[in-house]
Structure 1
Amino acid sequence: MAASPTPRPKPAEPPGNPAAAALAGLDLPLPLAVAYSGGADSTVLLLAAVQRWPGQVQAIHIHHGLQDAADAFAQHCRQVCAALGVPLQVKRVQAGHAMGESPEDAARQARYPALARAARDAGLQAVLLGQHADDQVETLLLALSRGAGLPGLAGMPPVFQRDGVLFVRPLLAVGARVIREWVGQHGVAVVEDPTNADIAFTRNRIRHLVLPTLEEAFPHYRETFGRSTRHAAQAQELLETVAVEDLARMGGVPGITALQQMHRARQGNVLRHWLRTAHAANASAAQLEELLDQVADCKTRGHQIRIKVGNGFVERVLDRLSFVQ
């Protein structure tokens, strides 16, 4: 009888992986997946996760098909995962962007549902994401450039649920330079997305033109900006709590008389919450101001309200507001 083949030893991980400390204190449902693009950030995360939870880690690669190198990225991921003994799913998505939408936003909208589906298909409850401290700063600066409110200024949450799957960003306190220096020092194989150097994209302009200047003026900007996003997230969490309580007192649907008894800012808070959570609609600042003005002017039974918000309209029905499409 032929002897069983000797298992191929997995390559040893170089010491000092900057993701290792970030994973050390995490208690997550196992097995789990790493969203693996093949780039430096997701590579250090995958290597650290394999060391932290041996035999409990899988990888998911999202093939966006947006550039000629996409097939090569997927092949690189297959080779790395085969060497590590890590199961890999490669999922193709359609990430074409609509008019007025950036390619990055379109890819992001396609990516997370695909990751969640792949995780559920494999019986996994958690997915690790490789965004780091520089990504968080870029997100904050983008939000500021667009005049965002607290939800935007809160940046990327370290933990969130989507489609029944737990997503975790353990590297938000780790800088990009630390990751790239470790990858370079140890000769770790990674792919480089050629679009990352294209400053036609707003995020790349921030990365290549703004962040170096910030670092020169404020060497600790990653830590201080990160602290600001956490403060904004805490404030937004408090506002959400207030909105939930206010809406519950109205029976789950905004009442005009009840709204008129609130301060204007509190009215806006509960209406934003109602539109987003009950109808997946996000009112612009102008739309919300118009809606608040109409609520304030609603003094008679005959006063009608019909304001475009998202893909529908907010209308008055008796003493209540209704959202119709």
Structure 2
Amino acid sequence: MTRSFEQAIADFAPALPLAVAYSGGADSTALLLACARQWPGQVTAVHVHHGLQAAGDDFERHCRSFCADLNVPLVVQKVDARHAPGQSPEAAARHARYQAIDALALHGQLAIQTIAIAQHADDQVETLLLALSRGAGLPGLSAMAAQWQRGGLTYCRPLLQVSGIAIRDWLQTEGARFIEDPSNVDERFTRNRIRARVLPVLQACFPQFRDTFTRSSRHAAQAQVLLQEVAAEDLARVGVPPDVKALQALSPARLANLLRHWLLSAHQATPTSAQLEALTAQIAACRTRGHQIHLKVGQGFCVRRGKVLDWYNPHPLQPSSNPSCP
């Protein structure tokens, strides 16, 4: 159920001290202002300078000024968030942000236990629609988690049930200053096209779409947890690396579920649908001692080594283009 901004903040109970990811935009400004009032002296703002826009220095100056007025300490981390070939600009920027925050915490520059991120209900719907447009499975349809652990920190999204309009309405009553990032209206990016063109139509046709879409994402997340539990049990039975004959005893759906789990948990590899389909077909056909398997999967290759299926990366020093950031 969509909630008011005040309700969401009242129900937010982070372990302190708390850091707020602060871009200077409307959403993070509202979250920072509310948290600073709720826990005075226990909140730090973290601003990541991506180095992608000429206006980035102006954003930083605004954040420093606002935090000085609010009497909240600000930590600025500059990163190179340019995307690699084949990687989306959004994914590269997101990965750079998480790495920057993790580095600050791990090196003792931030004495915090929790970091809050201001993504809200509209962001959640956009994430779900992006996943649908790409033919994603349950992990993608689960959209964004409200809380997770990373790098020894607890990350929270306390505004996931608050609409973007409600956040801006609250900011207007407070008279708080914020900046508008021009990249947020650049419709070359799919997420921005969804925000500008699709969400208004959904609002007109299905006014409760934020609630119903979020409920669907929760159902997908619950189903994904169940599939992970089944995969973990199956992996314990087939072994690591998995025995080929034991894999052949599984149903096609259960085999695909196990392979995804094994590749991600053991090798941080994520197969495409075509790669997974080819791999399951090869496993089914592997009935003789001389049958070889050598298939591209993720950034490496799945191979048969005697009785087991294995995976290797011929270029292990290359950075992954699929960072596991929720």
TM range (shorter): over 0.9
* 5+ long unaligned stretches in structure 2: 314-326
Residue 261 of structure 1: CA displacement? 0.8
Match of residue 288 from structure 1: 276
The alpha carbon displacement at 1:262 in A equals 0.9
Matched-pair contact (CA < 8 Å) for 2:77–2:100: yes
Alpha-carbon distance in 1 for matches of 2:5, 2:75? 22
Q: Which residue of 1 aligns with 2:17?
A: 31
Q: Distance in 1 between matches of 2:184 and 2:258?
A: 39
Contact 1:60 1:90 in 2 (8 A): yes
Match of 2:225 among 228, 232, 237: 237
Q: 1:36·1:42 contact (CA, 8 Å) conserved in 2?
A: yes
TM-score under structure 1 length normalisation: 0.92
AA of the residue aligned to 1:148: A
Cα 1:279/1:167, change in 2 over 3 Å:
same
Structure 1 gap segments, 5+ residues each: 1-16
Which stretch of structure 1 is more off in the superposition, 194-203 or 146-155?
194-203
1:185, distance to aligned residue in structure 2 (A): 3.6
Aligned residue for 2:33, secondary structure, equals: helix
Query: In the TM superposition, what whole-angstrom CA distance separates every residue of 1:190-224 from its partner, at most 9, and x where no partner exists?
Result: 01001111111111100001100011000010010
* 2-structure distance, mates of 1:294, 1:251: 19
Aligned twin of 1:140:
128
Judge conservation of contact 2:292–2:303 (CA < 8 Å) in 1.
Answer: yes
- The whole-number CA distance in structure 2 between the counterparts of 1:284 and 1:80 is 44
The percentage of counterpart residues that share the same residue type is 56
Specify the alignment match of 1:186 in structure 2: 174
The residue type paired with residue 212 of structure 1 is: P
Which residue, out of 57, 74, 91, partners 2:77? 91
Offset from partner CA, 1:157-204 (integer Å, 9 cap, x none) = 111111221110010000001111222343210010011111111111
1:25-84 per-residue CA deviation (whole Å, 9 max, x = no partner) reads 333221010000011111111111112222111110000011111111111111111112
Greater Rg by CA: 1
Task: Determine which of 38, 44, 64 is the counterpart of 2:50.
Answer: 64
Match of 1:297 in 2: 285
Highest RCO, 1 vs 2 (Cα 8 Å, sep ≥ 6): 2
1:278 aligns with 2:261: no
Aligned CA RMSD, in angstroms, stands at 1.4
User: Per-residue deviation at 1:18?
Assistant: 4.9
SS of corresponding position for 1:228: helix
The runs of at least 4 aligned residues of structure 1 exceeding 3 Å deviation read: 17-20
